[in-house]
Amino acid sequence: MTQDAIVNIVAAVLTLMVLSRIAGDNPLFRIAQYLFVGVSLGLAFVVAYHQALRPAVVALLSAEPPAIWLYGVPLALGVLLLPRITGDQHLSWLANIPLALVFGVGGALAIGGAIIGTLLPQIRDTARTPSGEIGAIIGVVVLVIGTVLTLASFYYTTPPESRSGRMIRGIAMIGHWLIMVAFGFFFAGALQSYLSALVERLNFVLAVVRSFFGA
Amino acid sequence: MSRNQSGRSPAGGAVSAIAETAPPAGDLPDWLRDIAAQPPAAPSAPGAPVAETAPSASDLPDWLRNIAAQPPAAPSAPGAPVAETALPASDLPDWLTGALSTPDIPSAEEKPVAPPSTPSDLPDWLQTPDATPGAAGLPDWLRGAEVPAATDAHDGRSHTTEPAAPRGSSDLLSGMDLPEWLRVEPEPKPEPPPLSGRDLDWLTRLGSIAEDETITGVTVATPKLPPPPAPKRTEEQVAALNLLRRLAAEPIPAATPLPLPEPAGALQRIGLERMLSMVLLILIIVTILVPGLFPALETPPVIPGASEIYRQIAALGANDVVLIGYEWDARRVGELRPLEQAVIGQLIAQDVKLILVSTDPQGTLLQFDLLDTLRQAGYRQQGEGYLLLGYKPGGEMALRMVGRDFQTVLRSDYRGDDATGSVLITGVDTGRPIERLNDLSLIIVLADDTPDVQGWMEQVYPQAQTGDRSVSLVFLLPEEAAPIVQPYMRQPGVTALAGRRGALAYAALEQHAGSFDPVIARSIAQQRLATLLFAIVLLFGLAGVGGAALRRRRS
């Protein structure tokens, strides 16, 4: 039996163990689930070790000044995270330094990227100038109206008894149903994904079974 | 000293209170401070004279030591307020000699010895020479006080045979220079009010003398507050209290056995959802096992973005370099593997140079799967035909580096080697060195989730669109992520291909007309049949749930 055949059999068995969830929660499904989580974490550690930690340490041991600064400072910041491993709180404040750096840089990147890469382009796209085609004009109008109605469904500060409150409530109801339609699209996309995975796995299992019978 | 202080004390207004209240330590003479600091002496026997509690000779001032050594004088007649024995002026302390020499104040033989205070500190009734401690001369708080016995003004010892005052007053004030008329028989000590357990705990920590004094002082000084009004309970609270009392009084009832549930049917034991899932699974297996059931479903799908992507990739050649981001994991292998095979397979077929990078650990592993394909396709080694950069930690930070400083990313490939001097990057073969992101021909990202697309669009896309040469981005996505990232796909130079349908549509574009691959056709039919079967099973399930609800309503 070749190595590929063994790998395929193990993969097929694990696939059947996951599919056994249809019959309810059972130990086979649990084993496959825990195995997947453990293997994923192990793989992540191996990749992080070989691709990030080990090259950094090797470069640091070369004792070249640029490498010391390039890898030594991040390595020192990483070491400062270690006091959080133990329950002793005396030195845990040291971990605040790299965590503050990570959160600060991450927040700055996220905010800057979100404004430049997400907010502005989407606002610009919502308020874009329609071309001369009637279909494009209708599309832009529907897009603007849908955006306003959807945003109105999150407007809660008007008293519902007032006239404007009743009007906003009616608009919000339309926006609410627009959101429901959007969720329907999302669900359809997720369904396509899961059905694709199911078909692919069933094809794989049947191919392995066929291989046993020489088909 | 004590007189003035006691005279100003508002507590009680009685002489007994004056005698029982201990003066502060700062107001006592040194020899009295030591006594106050000493542990309490054994209680004197009833009727013992006050003289027995006098301080020792070493604690007495010099002018008192001689007197203390002498036997006590005969008790003076009751009601005689003036001390009978007078000391020479040299034996008296300064404040007493001053008092004797003061003509406005009665002499020590006739009047009580004044404390070492100036006349201005004395009350009016003492500053008057003919003032007597009678009812008219006394302040209000001293009126009515009875002077039972004379006291030697010099040594402060009582010469009466009356029982000693309670220890709280006699021990403390026996050695003090109180005037005779102030050494009155203390009134019977009032019974202290009953103390609570908390007060007793507090008192047991104190010494005996200080304890008695403190208790007396606190008892006298503390105003008696009226008891707090009883809380008014609402009817609900009263009802709840009654219920609690009744429940506490009643015995615990014996447990009654629950009625046995009716035996569930087979459908109820399995469950409708589980049964529908099994039906769907069986139908899909049958569809896979029996190909060609519905030939009408085997027509290739038409995806608008597929043709544009196909056109972009078809325009690339061996001198072009494409950056491929692997941001997906094994969970999406059912969708992204066909996309990878379709799109990257075309790149490989056209011998396009590839640079592979990933910020996802699992995506890094999947990159290595591609190496076998590249070698089988005849690609040259690392750094010439392709460049595997491997895993770049940092998430968005790494992506930002890809966008802003591509040379830094190239300084370390998956083995840690510097790739900036490689044949691929220097452009030896292509004739176009790769110095920045805009030198690339195309960027393809295999993303399995929305944040991956968001990261590339926010950190890399703005840089790819700037400069003299913009670079297009192509996203290969699962169907689940496609609707969410739709707003990004409206940006110029951004296209996407999603799911197994997209892969099949792209693969169909590669096929020549009339030679459509039967494997792809069968996959398309399976995908469509699975969706159709799901819709049918869902409708049957809705009908079953509705029927069950109707039956429950009728019953």
DSSP per-residue letters across B100-133: HH-TTS--TTTSPPPPS--GGGS-HHHHSTT--S
CA distance A119 to B439: 27
Q: What local confidence, expressed as pLDDT, does residue A135 receive?
A: 82
Q: In the predicted model, what is the mean pLDDT of residues A103-123?
A: 84
Residue B413 Cα distances to B152, B321, B387, B424, B442, angstroms:
109, 16, 8, 13, 20
What secondary structure letter does DSSP report for B328? -
Question: Of the ranges B26-40, B43-57, B411-425, B488-502, which one carries the lowest mean pLDDT score?
Answer: B43-57
Residue A187: closest CA among chain B residues belongs to which residue? B480
Q: Is the pLDDT of residue B100 over 80?
A: no
Quickly state the pLDDT bin for A43 (edges 50, 70, 90): confident
Q: What local confidence, expressed as pLDDT, does residue B227 receive?
A: 82
pLDDT tens string B320-330: 999 999 998 88
Q: What local confidence, expressed as pLDDT, does residue B296 receive?
A: 77
Higher pLDDT, B532 or B150: B532
CA distance B544 to B537: 10
Chain A CB within 8 Å of residue B104 CB: no
Q: Give the list of residues 6+ apart from residue B327 with CB closer than 8 angstroms, or none.
A: B358, B359, B360, B363, B445, B446, B447, B448, B449, B452, B456
Cβ contact B487–A199 (<8 Å) = no
Q: What local confidence, expressed as pLDDT, does residue A118 receive?
A: 80
Instruction: Name the amino acid, one letter, at B545.
Output: V
CA distance B221 to B219: 6
Q: What local confidence, expressed as pLDDT, does residue B500 receive?
A: 86
Q: What local confidence, expressed as pLDDT, does residue B1 receive?
A: 39
Cβ contact A44–B478 (<8 Å) = no
Cβ contact B288–A203 (<8 Å) = yes
Residue B500: closest CA among chain A residues belongs to which residue? A196
pLDDT tens string B411-460: 888 887 888 888 888 888 888 888 888 889 999 999 988 889 989 998 89
Cβ contact B284–A199 (<8 Å) = yes
Q: What local confidence, expressed as pLDDT, does residue A154 receive?
A: 86
Q: In the predicted model, what is the mean pLDDT of residues B305-315?
A: 89
Q: What local confidence, expressed as pLDDT, does residue B183 receive?
A: 59
Contacts of A200 in chain B (CB under 8 A): 333-335, 337, 500
Length of chain B: 555
The percent of residues above 90 in pLDDT, for chain B, comes to 12
Q: In the predicted model, what is the mean pLDDT of residues B20-26?
A: 48
CA distance B429 to B423: 7
Question: Of the ranges B221-230, B448-457, B526-535, which one carries the lowest mean pLDDT score?
Answer: B221-230
Cβ contact B491–A109 (<8 Å) = no
Residue in A19, A52, A182 closest to B391 by CB? A52
Q: In the predicted model, what is the mean pLDDT of residues B224-233?
A: 81
The per-residue pLDDT of chain A, averaged, comes to: 86
Q: In the predicted model, what is the mean pLDDT of residues A35-48?
A: 90
- The strand order across the sheet containing B386-391 reads B386-391, B353-358, B321-327, B442-447, B473-477, B494-498
Residue A210: closest CA among chain B residues belongs to which residue? B289
Quickly state the pLDDT bin for B50 (edges 50, 70, 90): very low
3-class SS of residue B496: strand
Distance from CA of B20 to the nearest CA of A (A): 55
Token pair of B45, please? 């026997």
Residue B458: closest CA among chain A residues belongs to which residue? A117
Cβ contact A189–B334 (<8 Å) = no
Question: Which positions 112-171 of B are in contact with A (Cβ < 8 Å)?
Answer: none
Distance from CA of A173 to the nearest CA of B (A): 22
Q: Please state the pTM of the whole predicted model.
A: 0.61
Cβ contact B534–A191 (<8 Å) = yes
Which residue pairs from B293-297 have beta carbons closer than 8 angstroms and sit at least 24 positions apart in sequence? B293/B525, B293/B529, B294/B525, B294/B529, B295/B525, B297/B524, B297/B525, B297/B528, B297/B529
- Residue owning tokens 């080697």: B417
Question: Of the ranges A131-145, A170-184, B133-147, B510-524, which one carries the lowest mean pLDDT score?
Answer: B133-147
Chain A CB within 8 Å of residue B484 CB: yes
Q: Is the pLDDT of residue B202 over 90?
A: no
CA distance A193 to B88: 119
Question: Which positions 294-353 of B are in contact with A (Cβ < 8 Å)?
Answer: 329, 331-335, 337
Cβ contact A48–B391 (<8 Å) = yes
ipTM (interface predicted TM): 0.80
Q: In the predicted model, what is the mean pLDDT of residues B206-217?
A: 49
Question: Which positions 357-386 of B are in contact with A (Cβ < 8 Å)?
Answer: 361-362, 364-365
Q: Is the pLDDT of residue A180 over 70?
A: yes
Residue in A24, A185, A189 closest to B274 by CB? A24
Higher pLDDT, B228 or B168: B228
Residue B368: closest CA among chain A residues belongs to which residue? A47
Of B432, B191, B416, B219, the C-alpha closest to B321 is B432
Token pair of B324, please? 């491929």
Instruction: Name the amino acid, one letter, at B156.
Output: G
Question: Which positions 236-275 of B are in contact with A (Cβ < 8 Å)?
Answer: 274
Q: Is the pLDDT of residue B109 over 60?
A: no
Residue in B364, B454, B483 closest to A51 by CB? B364
Distance from CA of A165 to the nearest CA of B (A): 31
Residue in A43, A199, A202 closest to B361 by CB? A43
Distance from CA of A41 to the nearest CA of B (A): 9
Helix (H) or strand (E) holding B475: strand B473-477
Cβ contact B284–A122 (<8 Å) = no
CA distance B482 to A189: 7
Higher pLDDT, A44 or B1: A44
Distance from CA of B320 to the nearest CA of A (A): 27
Q: What local confidence, expressed as pLDDT, does residue B35 receive?
A: 55
CA distance B150 to B180: 5
Q: What local confidence, expressed as pLDDT, does residue A16 receive?
A: 92
CA distance B4 to A213: 120
3-class SS of residue B477: strand
Q: What local confidence, expressed as pLDDT, does residue A93 receive?
A: 87
- Residue owning tokens 């990004």: B488
Token pair of A207, please? 């191919």
CA distance B491 to A122: 9
CA distance B336 to B328: 8
Cβ contact A58–B455 (<8 Å) = no
Cβ contact B482–A203 (<8 Å) = no
Cβ contact A48–B393 (<8 Å) = yes
Q: In the predicted model, what is the mean pLDDT of residues B468-483?
A: 89
Distance from CA of B348 to the nearest CA of A (A): 24
Residue A195: closest CA among chain B residues belongs to which residue? B530
Higher pLDDT, A99 or B251: A99
pLDDT tens string B336-346: 888 898 899 89
Start-to-end CA span in chain B (Å): 100
Token pair of A210, please? 């066929």
Cβ contact A192–B361 (<8 Å) = no
Contacts of A19 in chain B (CB under 8 A): 281
Distance from CA of B287 to the nearest CA of A (A): 10
Question: Of the ranges A60-69, B200-209, B365-374, B448-457, which one carries the lowest mean pLDDT score?
Answer: B200-209
Contacts of B488 in chain A (CB under 8 A): 118, 121
Q: What local confidence, expressed as pLDDT, does residue A14 receive?
A: 93
Chain A CB within 8 Å of residue B48 CB: no
Quickly state the pLDDT bin for B120 (edges 50, 70, 90): low
Q: What local confidence, expressed as pLDDT, does residue A139 receive?
A: 84
Q: In the predicted model, what is the mean pLDDT of residues B100-125?
A: 48
* Residue-range domain boundaries for chain A: 1-79, 86-126, 132-215
Question: Of the ranges A85-99, A108-122, B155-169, B453-467, which one carries the lowest mean pLDDT score?
Answer: B155-169
Helix (H) or strand (E) holding B416: none
Cβ contact B288–A202 (<8 Å) = yes
Higher pLDDT, B111 or B176: B176
Phi and psi for A36 in degrees, rounded to 5? Answer: -65, -45
The per-residue pLDDT of chain B, averaged, comes to: 71
Q: What local confidence, expressed as pLDDT, does residue B96 receive?
A: 58
Q: Decide: B306 and B505 in contact? Cβ < 8 Å.
A: yes
CA distance A78 to A97: 10
3-class SS of residue B169: helix
CA distance B434 to A176: 49
CA distance B321 to B409: 16
Q: What local confidence, expressed as pLDDT, does residue A110 receive?
A: 84
Sign of CA dihedral B41, B47, B52, B54: positive
Q: Is the pLDDT of residue B103 over 60?
A: no
Cβ contact B483–A185 (<8 Å) = yes
Distance from CA of B230 to the nearest CA of A (A): 44
Distance from CA of A56 to the nearest CA of B (A): 9
Question: Which positions 431-460 of B are in contact with A (Cβ < 8 Å)?
Answer: 454-455, 457-459
Q: How many CB pairs under 8 A join A and B?
A: 144
Distance from CA of A200 to the nearest CA of B (A): 5
Cβ contact B499–A200 (<8 Å) = no
pLDDT tens string B344-382: 989 999 989 999 999 988 888 888 888 888 888 888 888
Cβ contact A189–B480 (<8 Å) = yes
Q: What local confidence, expressed as pLDDT, does residue A5 receive?
A: 86
Question: Of the ranges A61-70, A74-83, B408-417, B511-520, which one carries the lowest mean pLDDT score?
Answer: B511-520
